Structure 1
Amino acid sequence: MSPSQESRLNLLRQLFAAFNRHDGAAVMACTTDDIVFDAAAGPDICGRRLSGAREVLAAFEATFNSMPDVAWECLRHDVFGDRGISEWIFRATTADGQRIEAEGCDLFFFRGEKICTKSAFRKDRPLQPARDEAGGTR
């Protein structure tokens, strides 16, 4: 593996560690200022396209705030030249207590040692019932 590939793999590890800490500044430190993020859901063929650090950071922070337990369990990262992929399981609780748990992946483009595009794909799985304090469903 080339030094560039290893540094880009490390960048993906840093990115997801920052996502799981809900650290928007650290997430954005992994990206270019002109980052383009295609969200998994939205009205467009690409989902919902967000452009630029300010707009992308706002979207990530909205996710952290609306789902305080949101986490990505990373299963695998791979880098192929200026492209990368991360496979993960997304887990979160909605404001009304329903659970989201679905597999997904991100496709990345790198420019130098930073991410310049991130395109998210997530399984469209129905929300799961809320759990009570004993672990049962409500």
Structure 2
Amino acid sequence: MSEANSAAELERLIERYNDAWNAQDLDTILAFHAPGMVFENHTAGERAEGGDAVRDHIGAIFANWPDLRFRGRRLYARDGLVVSEWTATATHADGRRLEWDGIDVFPFENGLILRKDVYSAGHRPRVLET
């Protein structure tokens, strides 16, 4: 992909990226990332940099939350930047079904994600009725 991705192209790319997250497909997720990519969850105070570290970090998320799924709420794309608003659901180890909202900020270069900056309400999720 070229550096000058249109907003529509970036939206489609993030939709495919989100599908890979919901499938917990690490190889596909990492294919969207630029070398040296940074994954930083500002809410949790977690940061991983580079392919191996990002793979390990995301793999640990999936191991801890095997039914984690995201539902997109809004997507804003322009000039090599995407902001994605989402709602996540997952089952906690204690059996509670949880839901929380967040946003991801994605700068792009040459069609690849340079960073994933996560800001969420994961520290105060809503407990869903079971």
Interval of TM-score (by shorter of Structure 1 and Structure 2): 0.7 to 0.9
1:62–1:54: structure 2 CA closer, same or farther, 3 Å change rule?
same
Q: Distance in 1 between matches of 2:126 and 2:101?
A: 13
Aligned to 1:66: 64
Find the residue that maps to 1:17 and give its secondary structure: helix
Counterpart secondary structure, 2:127 = coil
SS of corresponding position for 2:66:
coil
Larger Rg: 1
Deviations for 1:86-112, whole angstroms, at most 9, x for unmatched residues? 010011112221232111110111011
Q: Distance in 1 between matches of 2:83 and 2:34?
A: 17
Letter in 2 for 1:59: H
Asked if the contact 2:100–2:125 (Cα under 8 Å) also holds between the matched residues in 1, the reply is no
Query: What letter corresponds to residue 5 of structure 1 in structure 2?
Result: A
Partner of 1:97: 95
Corresponding residue number in structure 1 for 2:24: 22
Percentage identity across aligned positions?
28
Q: Give the letter aligned to residue 61 of structure 1.
A: G
Whose relative contact order is higher, 1 or 2, with alpha carbons under 8 Å and at least 6 apart? 2
What RMSD in Å do the two structures reach over aligned CA positions?
1.8
The answer on whether the counterparts of 1:90 and 1:101 sit within 8 Å (CA) in structure 2 is yes
Give TM-score, length-normalised by structure 1. Answer: 0.82
1:57 maps to 55
Give unmatched runs, 5+ long, in structure 2. Answer: none
Partners of 2:69 and 2:42 in 1: how far apart?
A: 16
Alignment partners' CA distance in 2, 1:106 and 1:65: 21
Map 1:37-56 to 2 at 5 A.
37-42=39-44, 47-56=45-54
Letter in 1 for 2:22: N
Q: Please report how far the alpha carbon of residue 48 of structure 1 lies from its aligned counterpart in structure 2 after TM superposition.
A: 1.9
Aligned residues of 2:37 and 2:115 also touching (Cα < 8 A):
yes
Please give the TM-score of this superposition, normalised by the length of structure 2: 0.87
Aligned to 1:11: 13
